[in-house]
Structure 1
Amino acid sequence: MSYSQFTLDDIEPNFNVTITEKVGIFNEIPPKKHSQFLQELLNYNIPLALDIATEKARSEMIITPILIELKKQFNSQISLFSGKEFNVDLEKGLTGYCDYLISYSPSQLLIKSPVITLVEAKNDNIQSGLAQCMAEMIAAQLFNQNHSNSIPTIYGGVTTGTNWKFMRLTEKIIEVDSQEYFLNPISKIIGILSHFIRTGADSIGLHP
């Protein structure tokens, strides 16, 4: 089994977690200013990606530029992995490739302290990526525990490129924000992702 094979029905019984839903968990997080370069890039890329209408186009033209902007804003003190193999526990099925991982480390050679997992939704359907994202979050939590990284919360997101849904894992509780967030304004997405990084880092005394 791998991350992409999990269904929502698998997550609670397989990992002894509880999934809860609430509207607007992250809605109060303020937008964060982004570069004019990103805005100009997305203004050009988004219509093109939507016309091409493939997951690869959305990934390369929309999602990746946003995450690179995030890495720049944190002065490259966080690491960004795309399509990286992340094998944590074979017996539990926590193996396979992650669409995106963000880690509390400047190193791009090794995954050291994963904090955010992002899944690209299949067939433009947010629901299709929820279970995969949850499994990757659980793997990130287990990885950190095995490496004595006392990171209290793992965050996750599923995106079509234009629509985003976020969640968080704390101990054995996965909280899913039922609200979807959109690219307009992109500053809201940047704000939420930045908040995830800053909140977790502050809780363990890191300053990326």
Structure 2
Amino acid sequence: MSYSKFTTLTEVLDKFGLSVVYDQELFPSVTPAPPGELLVATLDEYLPLALAIGTEKARSELLIMPVLAEVRRQLHAQISLFSGVDFNVDPKQGLNGYCDYLLSRSRDPFTIQAPVFALVEAKNEKLVTGLGQCVAEMIAAQLFNQRANKPLSPIYGAVTTGELWRFVKLEGTELTVDRDNENLNPLERLLGILTTIAQGAT
């Protein structure tokens, strides 16, 4: 089994004994983070192309990665960002396999180091189809951090099409699924959420 085998959120909740909250807004207020000129130009140029192609790969490369790279830039490379990496934590529990994006508070750009604080899964269709996989990766991050003696709570995740983002938060065995989707625009709000998460201010 691997992360991708968790095709529904219910599977993960049952397997790992999580409780879940659906009716909370995770980010009722957040300080906007103005985007850099390069990100603005990149999205102006490539948003129509990414939507026209419509594949998960196109959305990942042209929309999601530029946004996450901007978060790292705004934090002066104080975090690390990994794309398309194997994160094999506990294969016996199905906590192994490929992660679209993984973010750590370590500055090491070459090796995943604890504490991992967020996972992002890319999808080209309904966000709900990626929630189980994303939460399994968050549980793996929780265990990875504990084993490295760098426990961290909460751990965040997001499932995104590039245009829409649905955030989730894991604290112990309680999972909160944001009641609302966040949009790519206004970009300042999305970047504000992501930089706030990265700074550990929520």
TM-score (norm 2): 0.95
Match of 1:206 in 2: none
Match of 2:117 in 1: 115
Q: Deviations over 1:134-179 (max 9, x none)?
A: 0000000000001100312100000000000001101110101020
Match of 1:170 in 2: 171
Q: Deviations over 1:21-68 (max 9, x none)?
A: 124221312321121221111011101111111111111100010111
C-alpha distance in structure 2 between counterparts of 1:59 and 1:13, whole Å: 30
C-alpha distance in structure 1 between counterparts of 2:94 and 2:72, whole Å: 30
Q: Does the 8 Å contact 2:24/2:176 carry over to 1?
A: no
Instruction: Find out whether 1:59 has 2:66 as its counterpart.
Output: no
Match of 2:90 in 1: 89
CA change 1:23–1:152 in 2 (3 A) is closer
SS in 2 for 1:152: coil
SS in 1 for 2:200: helix
SS in 1 for 2:89: coil
Match of 1:191 in 2: 192
Q: Does the 8 Å contact 2:34/2:187 carry over to 1?
A: no
Match of 2:138 in 1: 137
Instruction: Find out whether 1:3 has 2:14 as its counterpart.
Output: no
SS in 2 for 1:37: helix
C-alpha distance in structure 1 between counterparts of 2:10 and 2:52, whole Å: 34
Q: Does the 8 Å contact 2:84/2:98 carry over to 1?
A: yes
Could you tell me which runs of 5 or more consecutive residues in structure 1 were left unpaired when the two chains were aligned. Answer: 204-208
C-alpha distance in structure 1 between counterparts of 2:56 and 2:179, whole Å: 23
- Alignment-mate amino acid for residue 26 of structure 2: I
- After TM superposition, list the pairs within 5 Å mapping 1:33-48 onto structure 2: 33-48=34-49
Match of 1:157 in 2: 158
TM-score (norm 1): 0.92
C-alpha distance in structure 1 between counterparts of 2:84 and 2:172, whole Å: 26
Could you tell me which runs of 5 or more consecutive residues in structure 2 were left unpaired when the two chains were aligned. Answer: none
RMSD, aligned α-carbons: 1.3
C-alpha distance in structure 1 between counterparts of 2:4 and 2:179, whole Å: 21
C-alpha distance in structure 1 between counterparts of 2:24 and 2:182, whole Å: 11
Match of 2:21 in 1: 20
C-alpha distance in structure 2 between counterparts of 1:173 and 1:105, whole Å: 25
